Amino acid sequence: MSCEKTVCAEPCPDPRAAACNEPCVVACPDSRVIIFPPPVVVTFPGPILTTYPQETVVGSTESAELAGVLEAGVPIGTG
């Protein structure tokens, strides 16, 4: 059994990709409760939420304009 490589008539453009992954940290204020009887104040530390949103754009170098947008890290569309 032999494998044959399919060759395109025209060369394929080089792939181009840009990705952004920066942490986002949100700290919420502390919570307080009063317990009866006798009155006691307890402070619970607020939660710290950390997320890592990721944005990735993949394209090709066929269009110089698109390549410039990809290098700048600018979103090119929403969907």
pLDDT digits (tens, 9 = 90+) for 11-49: 666 666 666 667 777 788 888 888 788 888 888 888 887
Within a domain: 2: no
Within a domain: 60: yes
Provide the residue range defining the domain that includes 58. 15-72
Within a domain: 30: yes
Within a domain: 24: yes
Within a domain: 23: yes
**Is the backbone of residue 10 left (phi > 0), alpha (psi -120 to 50) or beta?**
beta
Write down the pLDDT at residue 5.
55
Within a domain: 27: yes
Q: How far apart are CA 77 and CA 79, in angstroms?
A: 7
E-strand ranges in the chain read 15-21, 24-27, 31-35, 40-44, 48-51, 54-60
Number of domains in the chain: 1
Within a domain: 6: no
Within a domain: 33: yes
